[in-house]
Amino acid sequence: MFSLLAKRTYRHLFLAQLIALMGTGLATVALGLMAYDLDPDGAAMILGTIFTIKMVAYVGIAPIAGTFAERVNRRVLLVGLDLVRAFAMLCLPFVAQTWHVFGLIFLMQAASAAFTPTFQATIPDVLPDEAEYTRALSLSRLASDLENIISPTIAALLLIVLSYQALFLGAFAGFLASALLVLAVSLPDPKPGAPRGVYDRTTRGIRIYLATPRLRGLMGLNIVVSSAGAMVLVNTVVLVRGDLALGEPALAWTMFAFGAGSMIAAMMLPRLLDTRPDRPVMFAGAAVMGAALLGLAATLSVTELRWLYLTIAWLAVGMGYSTVLTPAGRLLARSAHPEDRPAVFAAQFALSHAAWLVCYPLAGWLMTAFGTIPALLGLAALSGVGLFIALRLWPATDPIDVRHSHANLPTDHPHLQGRREHSHPMIIDDLHPRWGRGL
């Protein structure tokens, strides 16, 4: 897996991703402290608004940005977006009004909504071999999990000698370093597709996504990930600090269990995916997430909550989380032509965060209104619904090559090569506007 870092272009992109993630982690810690500084009584409301702004930007901006990524030099676009994020971080230490914070956060998250899917769509062009790309996806998952551990540690060390404003400057340095790393390499730019209207470009990624059975199934898996993941991310602090009456170190170790599960799965997946199809592996991960929530609920119905039970459950959720998310990039890359990949990755980015936008408040409301066991059962039920949707929409027989005929093309069209019925990898495009045998 780590041998990929010998490839200069990928190494620069991986380091850019890791450093930018660490910058984002520092900014997250600093925002919590700034919210309390601006309004001690309304800090929770400020943070809630910030997270809502983030999700709205991700859901609303990503599909629009993805449609224009094919028309701009990718290196220029990625560097420019990193600089926008760095500018927002540089401004944050000097603001004194809450609405200034909201505006800068929207600017930063809008840039991230354009940056992330474009970056993700670039990796399969840099690593066209699917085995190498699979290992790159695992490395990206490891980078995200390591950030969850490293960033709070760095923030804690810096706060010993510096004010929280310095964390924003650390985030600024991270985004600037990311821009310099991307600037130092040459990135492939796919050949632009045919000229299209604004509406066609804006909706193209979503239309390809919804017309492809395996990607419709991925939408169901997004529901599984967001429902089980929201239980962990929203309610762990309540379970550890409230129900168990444990301190901050226990909270950190509980979240570490979730991250450790994710990292273990990420390291195991490349070899597993060399010999197993994506579908059963991803469905197994989804089932593990739901089963972990149900198992914890069943345990709590007969005994009181203990820290060991919680960490074991969160370790299992983390393993399922990575098992579903890591192969998702393979599905997206396989289901779109290079020129359409930014739009399709942007569609996944937006649709997955739309699921999070629902599950975040749902997890908090269930926990607050009904308690731990109903929250676990409710989110487990929602994950079960997502898994059922995925099973129905993603057929067990999902061949790469699909035999089909083209009633929509004249007999002398170059694509037919004299054969109206033929077989090749099915990808939704202008010649194949829908999935199936007859077009």
Over residues 384-404, the pLDDT tens digits come to 999 999 999 998 887 777 777
> Are 288 and 146 part of one and the same domain?
no
Q: Are 152 and 240 in a shared domain?
A: no
Look at residue 415 and tell me if it is in a domain.
no
Contact 45, 154 (CB under 8 A): no
The Cβ of residue 13 has, within 10 Å, a number of other Cβ atoms equal to 24
Same domain? 6 vs 95: yes
CB 205 within 8 A of CB 36: no
Same domain, residue pair 231 and 106: no
Where b means 16+ CB within 10 Å and e means fewer, 148-178 reads bebbbeebeebeeeeebebbbbbbbbbbbbb
The reported pLDDT for the residue numbered 271 is 87
Identify the band that residue 193 occupies on the pLDDT scale cut at 50, 70 and 90. low
Split into its structural domains, the chain has a count of 2
Q: Residue 166: pLDDT band by 50, 70, 90 thresholds? A: confident
| Secondary structure element (H or E) that encloses residue 405, with its range | strand 401-405
Q: Please, what sign has the CA dihedral across residues 427, 430, 433, 437?
A: negative
Instruction: Give the pLDDT confidence of 198-242 residue by residue, as tens digits.
Output: 556 667 788 889 889 999 999 999 999 999 998 988 888 788 878
Same domain membership, residue 285 and residue 166 = no
**Closest C-alpha among 346, 396, 391, 342 to residue 221:** 391
Instruction: Give the C-alpha separation, 212 to 408, whole Å.
Output: 19
Nearest to 181 by CA among 23, 342, 19, 5: 19
Structure tokens at 220: 């169901």
What six digits make up the tokens of 336? 């779109």
Give the containing element (helix H, strand E) for 422: strand 421-425
How far apart CA 128 and CA 278 sit, in angstroms, is: 18
Q: Of 111-125, 142-156, 270-284, where does mean pLDDT reach its minimum?
A: 142-156
DSSP β-ladder status, 401-405 and 421-425: antiparallel
- The token duo for 317 is 């959720």
**Structure token pair of residue 328:** 């998702």
Kindly tell me if the per-residue pLDDT of 353 is higher than 80. Answer: yes
- Looking at residue 175, which CATH number applies to its domain? 1.20.1250.20
**Within the chain, what is the greatest distance between any pair of CA atoms?**
74
Contact 252, 116 (CB under 8 A): no
Domain holding 122, by residue range, is 1-189
Res. 130: pLDDT tops 80: no
Output phi, psi for 12, to 5 deg.
-65, -40
For the ranges 28-42, 301-315, 353-367, the lowest mean pLDDT is seen at 28-42
106 and 236 co-located in one domain: no
pTM of the model: 0.81
Q: Is 217 exposed, middle or buried (0-12, 13-18, 19+ CB in 10 A)?
A: buried
Q: Which pair of tokens denotes residue 297?
A: 């609920």
Query: How far is C-alpha 171 from the geometric centre of its chain's CA atoms?
Result: 20
**Are residues 222 and 175 part of one domain?**
no
296 within domain boundaries: yes
Average pLDDT over residues 17-31: 81
- pLDDT score recorded for residue 158: 75
Whether 267 and 384 map to the same domain: the answer is yes
